[in-house]
Amino acid sequence: MKVKKLGSWISILAIMGLTLTACGSNKETKSNDAEGAKQVTIKIMSVSQTENPDGPAELEMAERYMKLHPEVKIEFIGVPMNDLYKKVTAMATAGDLPDAFTNTPQFIRTAYGMNITTDLTKLLGEDYLKAFYPNILEESSVDGKLQLLPWTAAPMALVYRGDWFEAEGLKAPENWDEFLDAAKKLTKDTNGDGKADQWGFGMIGTRNGSGADRFMTVLRSYGVDELKKDDSGKWITQLDTPEAKEAFQFYVDLNNKHGVVPPGVTETGFPEAASLMATGKVAMMLTGPNALGNIISQNPDLKGKLYSTPIPMKVKHTATFGVLGYSIAETSQHKEVVADYLKFMVNPENALAWNTVSGRLPTTIEVGKQQQMSTPEYAGFVKALEYAFSIPAFDQYSQFQDIIAEAYQSMIAGNQSVEQATKRATNRANEVIKNNK
């Protein structure tokens, strides 16, 4: 199935390649003129290289760039998303950063504080950046300096089996009560052995950023800010509020009380949850649009059966931007070369082709208006961008992911009550706030 998907991607690239050949004679001439010139090697640390179908597709795009620019050689260093921040920090400490590395809004302030990122506003120019959604550029900047070129957006939304919902006469859930009703209806014993083998919700319950970011949107839907500034400008947390405790209890009850989540939730990360949906074991999951590419690459028969809708609300809909992009290392000796490759990655043809393969949304305004963004698969994600909240401008924000994840895991495991878990989370949050400089 993956081969079939990759074949589609290669076909897209082949068509694009013909187009570029037809209208890109200047680039070909430039490439030919450069033959014999000293080759420049740029190294890029990429989380996409550890994922399918993203990794092969990104490599294919780089190879096409290198054909147009034979004076450039691109080498990738693959690193899993959950190891990215530690890897970047370790390599920066060792003075061994590659020319560019995957970065996120959650980590840009930490990287900025380490002085390891290039100001892309200055390098790329403000005129070029006018093509991007302004709020996505803001999300990718620190002190007005663009820290990563936003390659894709993956706003968090609810992906659900549209065909199953229609068969049960269900509507896309607008609030958490409707979500729970649907999850209960779609948790079934389909083979008559007396045990559930289909579940309503594919919860990602691992103790990492992947699990924490999902619960963070639930928390926000209850009107809770894990971190915010009060009226005096002081950082505070709302993890000890009644609304926060209600959100934690609802989320944990989906597994512990209602049984609408498959067994092994604390070990269920994104790959496992996506596989559960691909194999028809779960009906819903909170995720970005990148899950669509992953799931359909595993099971092409689900094409057209997966719908999306904004995250159900308690008091409001919410979403993360899910921006993913590349930072250029301040130590790179080839900043202009890397910048040219990054521009190639986000041009309209490549952005639409990447959306087809990975499901991730483009970050430029004109590309976002294309028809393929309005299908039932993507309409909910595009709508979710209206509810996206910005990551707090707090240097150590990434620590809140572990604080949140530890709390729901301890409750799921039955080690702590909601009172105990939120008290510990609040104490840890206040300690981080106290130590922030």
**Separation of alpha carbons 405 and 424, rounded Å:** 12
**Separation of alpha carbons 354 and 56, rounded Å:** 11
Any idea how long the chain is? 437
> Pseudo-torsion of CA 211, 148, 90, 61, nearest 10°?
90
pLDDT at 304: 93
Which residue type, as a one-letter code, is found at position 359? Answer: G
Distances in whole angstroms, Cα of residue 205 to Cα of each of 8, 220, 252, 258, 408: 33, 17, 10, 16, 8
85-89 long-range contacts, Cβ below 8 Å, gap at least 24? Answer: 85/110, 85/398, 87/45, 88/45, 88/116, 89/114
CATH of 157-320+391-435, one of 3.40.50.620, 3.40.470.10, 3.40.190.10, 1.10.645.10: 3.40.190.10
pLDDT at 19: 39
Which pTM was predicted? 0.73
Per-residue pLDDT tens digits for 312-344? 999 999 998 889 999 999 999 999 999 999 999
Give CATH 3.40.190.10 domain extents, the chain: 40-154+322-389, 157-320+391-435
Contacts of 35 (CB under 8 A, 6+ apart): 70, 71
SS3 of 356-409: HHHCCECCEHHHHCCHHHCCHHHHHHHHHHHHEECCCCCCCCCHHHHHHHHHHH
**Per-residue DSSP letter, 312:** P
CATH 3.80.10.10 assigned to 40-154+322-389: no
Distances in whole angstroms, Cα of residue 272 to Cα of each of 125, 210, 236: 41, 12, 35
Considering all CA atoms of the chain, what is the largest pairwise distance in Å, rounded to the nearest integer? 71
Q: Which residues pair with 41 in a beta bridge?
A: 73
- Give the pLDDT of the chain (437 residues) as one tens digit per residue: 343 444 444 444 444 443 333 333 334 334 444 445 689 999 999 999 998 888 999 999 999 999 999 999 999 999 998 899 999 999 999 999 999 999 999 899 999 999 999 999 999 999 999 999 888 999 999 999 999 999 999 899 999 999 999 999 999 999 999 999 999 999 999 999 999 999 999 999 999 988 999 999 999 999 999 999 999 999 999 999 999 999 999 999 999 999 999 999 999 999 999 999 999 999 999 999 889 888 998 999 999 999 999 999 999 999 988 899 999 999 999 999 999 999 999 999 999 999 888 888 899 988 877 767 778 998 899 889 889 888 888 878 889 999 999 999 999 999 999 999 999 999 999 999 999 86
Q: Is the peptide bond before 155 cis (omega within 30 degrees of 0)?
A: no
